[in-house]
């Protein structure tokens, strides 16, 4: 059995509304728990950036399923690597809305790991995306402590 982390980005459907977002969150939390998948999903500026961690077959099945979801398009895998420890083990799926509360701290985190002050994961390298998500997770952990 191989444990992997897959990171991808995609374009959200333009008319996506808050309600859709809640639905995704609810589904993800439930089905991922069953499949022992953990991860984080950032949404902002019409793009998604998601990390999926878990057993290789399960992560691939989920990813190929998500990729056909009409609520987004242009899925682009940024990195897939075998891991022996997960980065987001405590969350079935941590969802971070990057649209609201675009504080200075958040802008700095974005700039630190990309070429832009806007959330634009399609222009991040796999390494940047991975470091960015780890730092976002660290911020979220601070908030909930």
Ligand X SMILES: Cc1cc2nc3c(=O)[nH]c(=O)nc-3n(C[C@H](O)[C@H](O)[C@H](O)COP(=O)(O)O)c2cc1C
Confirm if 76 and 122 have CB atoms less than 8 A apart.
yes
Q: Could you tell which of ligand X, a copy of itself, none binds residue 67, using a CB distance below 5 to 8 A set by kind?
A: a copy of itself
φ and ψ of 65, to 5 deg: -70, -50
Greatest alpha-carbon pair distance for the chain in Å reads 42
The whole-angstrom separation of Cα 122 and Cα 3 is 25
CB of 15 to a copy of itself, least distance (A): 23
Residues in the site for ligand X, rule: CB under 6 A?
24, 27-28, 31-32, 41, 48, 50, 62, 65-66, 69, 71-72, 93
Strand partners, 35: none
**Closer by beta carbon to a copy of itself, 24 or else 38:** 38
* Residues engaged in binding a copy of itself (CB under 8 A): 1-4, 6, 33, 36, 38, 54-58, 60, 63-64, 67, 75-82, 84-86, 89-90, 104, 108-109, 111-118, 123-128, 131
Give the three-class secondary structure for 42: strand
**Minimal distance, residue 4 CB to ligand X, in Å:** 14
- Taking the complex as a whole, the smallest distance from the CB of residue 13 to a copy of itself amounts, in Å, to 17
Reduce the DSSP state of residue 132 to 3 states and report it: helix
Classified as helix, coil or strand, 91 is coil
């Amino acid at each position: 059995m191989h444990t992997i982390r897959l990171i991808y980005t995609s374009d959200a459907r333009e008319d996506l509304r808050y309600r859709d977002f809640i639905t995704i969150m609810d589904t993800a939390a439930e089905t991922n728990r069953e499949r022992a998948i953990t991860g984080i999903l950032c949404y902002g500026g019409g793009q998604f950036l998601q990390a999926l961690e878990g057993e290789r077959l399960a992560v691939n099945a989920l990813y190929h399923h998500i990729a056909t979801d009409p609520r987004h398009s242009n899925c682009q895998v940024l990195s897939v690597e075998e891991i022996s420890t997960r980065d987001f083990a405590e969350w079935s799926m941590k969802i971070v809305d990057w649209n609201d509360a675009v504080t200075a701290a958040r802008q700095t985190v974005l700039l630190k790991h990309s070429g832009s002050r806007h959330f634009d994961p399609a222009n991040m390298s796999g390494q940047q995306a991975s470091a960015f998500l780890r730092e976002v997770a660290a911020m979220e952990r601070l908030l909930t402590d």
